[in-house]
Amino acid sequence: MRSTNLLADSKAASSAIGTILMVGVVIILSTTTGVYLLDVSDRISNDIPTASFEYSTDACGAIEVTHTGGPTIDGDQLYFGGAATQYTTPRSVPGWNATSVKSGDSVTVSATPGEELTLIWQAEDGDSSAVISRYDVPSGAAATSANVEIDNINFPGQSVTFRVTSLRNADGPLRATVFEDGVADTTVTVSNPPPSKVKVSNLDLKFDSGDKMKVSLKPANNQACILDSDTMTAP
C-alpha cells in the first residue's frame, strides 16, 4: 500500500515539474521575443530622420515643400501621402530621387485642398515607413498644371507650332506667349480644352536661324502662374 502511494506521489511530482518547466520555457520565449521586438523598434525609431520642412502655396496653387533643417536624407526614401495627388511612391519625387535632400532643397507637389498632406520616409530595406512631416492643405481651388511642348519652328515661314498636354484644374482658357531670344513677341489665347496643336504665325519680331524660341503658358485668369515653358532653336 505504501509503495502505491509513493508511485502516485512520484507521478504527481513529475507532472508538476513538467508544468513548471513548460511555464518557464514560455516565459523565457516571451521575454526573448519582447526584447527582440523592442530592439527592432528602437533601431527603426533611431533611423527615422528628424528633419524640418516648410510648406507654402505657389501662384498656381501647388504646394512647395522645402527642407529647412536637420539631417540630409536619401531622396529615394521620400514620397508623399495623404492629400498628395502625385509622387506617392518611393523614387518618384522629381529633383529628390537619386540624390541627397539637404537644407534648402525644395519640390512642388499637387494636393487635394482641405486635406492633410504627409511626407513619408521609407527604410532602405523597404520593410518599414514613417510620416516625418504633415501639412494641412488650405481649402480652395485645386492646383492648376499643364505641359507645353514646341512641336515645330518654321523658318523662314516665321511660325511656331506647339502642343499643350496634361492640363489639370484650369478654370477657363490659357495664354501662351512666344519669346524670341528672351524677348516677348506674340501672345495668343488657347482654348480649354486645348486643340491637339496650336500654330502661331505672323510674329511681330522676325526671327533668324539659330534664334532661341520659347513658349510660356499661363492661365488667362492668373498671369502670376507660369504653368510650363519650352525652348527650341530655330533651324
Average pLDDT, integer, range 194-211: 90
pLDDT at 32 over 80: no
Domain residue limits, the chain:
1-47, 52-136, 145-233
In this structure, the number of other CB atoms found within 10 A of the CB of residue 13 comes to: 10
Indicate the DSSP class of residue 149: E
Q: Which three cell numbers stand for residue 141?
A: 481651388
- pLDDT score recorded for residue 50: 94
91 compared with 6, residue with greater pLDDT = 91
pLDDT at 61 over 60: yes
Region of residue 105 (phi > 0: left; psi between -120 and 50: alpha; otherwise: beta): beta
- pLDDT score recorded for residue 30: 52
Indicate the DSSP class of residue 111: B
CATH architecture of 145-233: Sandwich (2.60)
Low-confidence winner among 38-42, 100-104, 142-146, 175-179 (lowest mean pLDDT): 38-42
Q: How far, in Å, CA of 218 to CA of 152, rounded?
A: 20
Q: For 131-170, how does the pLDDT look when each residue is reduced to its tens digit (9 = 90+)?
A: 999 999 998 878 999 999 999 999 888 999 999 999 999 8
Average pLDDT, integer, range 213-230: 95
Sheet of strand 174-180: strand arrangement: 183-190, 174-180, 212-219, 228-233
The percent of residues in the chain predicted with pLDDT above 70, rounded, is: 80
Task: Give me the chain's average pLDDT, please.
Answer: 86
177 compared with 58, residue with greater pLDDT = 177
- pLDDT score recorded for residue 20: 58
* Closest alpha carbon to 132 in 28, 74, 51: 51
Average pLDDT, integer, range 25-48: 53
Q: Are 178 and 185 in contact (CB under 8 A)?
A: yes
pLDDT at 89 over 80: yes
Going along 34-158, which residue ranges are E strands? Answer: 52-57, 63-69, 73-74, 78-82, 100-101, 106-109, 116-122, 129-136, 145-154
